[in-house]
């Protein structure tokens, strides 16, 4: 934990020394979803901020950008995320979220690529997460954390902000982008789920399954951020359809659907009611 605390302190100091305006919003992109949200005013590789080594995953560029979609709204845009299946601890996985919170951000927007658990779903569907199941087996609140980060036992009954979901739905409707809502199950990975596991997750109430997002939301909620998370259904789960799973197919669907996410998030970042 000392490594994380020291790294965060140095990262905040570096941000200010660079003269970057402090962000109001943090955006984190998922697999193949590092969409263009405007011209970056500044950018640095993620490795420049972290007190530990970064391992690359196909579809996950690691770049930190400062965007200014409107003069009063600086945005920390983290292109690509860190996953626990890469061997990172929970605290390492949520480093960018905590950095954004310490810099003063109040809203977190995230995307992820997810498997659909409902036969009625179609690859390319966009789903706003309304709740989650944390089945990763990790929690970023374990350990001796600074009290100023927030409550030891934060309430997660509204982890995915209802007002932000409503705003996204309204913006999406105006743009002609169809959005549904669902429950996201986070699993450890990196192997894809078996048909039996897919049936289990459906029985537990999940509509989507993936390997990210939940740890970041837990850390964000502890530190007082409002969260909006969007899943792209890149494939249907094993057993829902009788087809093998392949990471390259996930990336292809992500790239094919990136335009819709780009339009939606660009509009949200400029919206008066986001922050």
The first and second tokens of residue 205, run together, are: 């109430």
Average pLDDT over the chain reads 92
In a domain, 274, yes or no: no
Residue range 12-64, pLDDT digits in tens: 999 999 999 999 999 999 877 878 888 888 888 888 888 888 876 665 567 78
CATH assignment of the domain containing 117: 3.40.50.1580
SS (H, E, C) the chain: CHHHHHHHHHHHHHHHHCCCCCCCEEEECCCCCCCCCCCCCEEEEHHHCCCCCCCCECCECCEEEEECCCCCCCEEEEECCCCHHHCCCHHHHCHHHHHHHHCCCCEEEEEEEEEECCCCCCCCCEEEEEEEEEECCCCCCCCCCCHHHCCCCCCCCCCCCHHHHHHHHHHHHHHCCCEEEEEEEEECCCCCCCHHHHHHHHHCCCCEEECCCHHHHHHHHHCCCEEEEEEEEEEECECCECCCCCHHHHHHHHHHHHHHHHHHHHHHHCCCCCC
In a domain, 275, yes or no: no
In a domain, 206, yes or no: yes
In a domain, 137, yes or no: yes
**Total of domains in the chain:** 1
Q: pTM for the full model?
A: 0.94
Give the CA dihedral 250, 252, 253, 259, nearest 10 degrees: 130
Give CA angle at 80 (263, 128), nearest 5°.
Answer: 50
pLDDT at 61: 60
Domain with 251, as residue range(s), is: 2-269
Residue range 179-206, pLDDT digits in tens: 999 999 999 999 999 999 999 999 999 9
In a domain, 136, yes or no: yes
Residue range 205-257, pLDDT digits in tens: 999 999 999 999 999 999 999 999 999 999 887 777 777 767 787 778 778 88
């Amino acid at each position: 934990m000392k490594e994380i605390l020291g790294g965060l302190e140095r990262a905040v100091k570096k941000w200010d020394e660079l003269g970057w305006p402090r962000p109001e919003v943090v955006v984190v992109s998922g697999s193949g979803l590092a969409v263009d949200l405007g011209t970056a005013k500044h950018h640095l590789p993620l490795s420049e901020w972290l007190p530990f080594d970064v391992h690359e995953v196909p579809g996950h560029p690691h770049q930190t950008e400062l965007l200014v979609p409107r003069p009063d709204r600086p945005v920390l845009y983290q292109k690509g995320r860190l996953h626990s299946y890469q061997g990172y601890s929970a605290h390492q996985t949520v480093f960018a979220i905590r950095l954004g919170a310490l810099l003063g951000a109040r809203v977190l927007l995230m995307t992820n690529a997810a498997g659909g658990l409902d036969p009625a779903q179609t690859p390319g569907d966009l789903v706003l997460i309304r709740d989650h199941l944390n089945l990763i087996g990790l929690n970023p609140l374990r350990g001796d954390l600074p009290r100023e980060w927030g409550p030891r036992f934060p309430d997660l009954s509204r982890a995915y902000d209802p007002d932000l979901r409503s705003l996204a739905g309204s913006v999406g409707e105006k743009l002609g982008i169809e959005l549904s809502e669902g429950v996201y199950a986070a699993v450890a990975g990196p192997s894809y789920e078996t048909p039996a596991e897919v049936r289990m997750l459906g029985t537990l109430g999940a509509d989507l399954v993936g390997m990210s997002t939940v740890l970041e939301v837990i850390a964000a909620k502890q530190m007082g951020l409002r969260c909006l998370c969007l899943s792209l259904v890149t494939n249907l789960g094993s057993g829902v359809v009788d087809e093998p799973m392949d990471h390259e197919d996930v990336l292809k669907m992500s790239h094919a659907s990136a335009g819709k996410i780009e339009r939606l998030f660009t509009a949200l970042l400029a919206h008066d009611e986001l922050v």
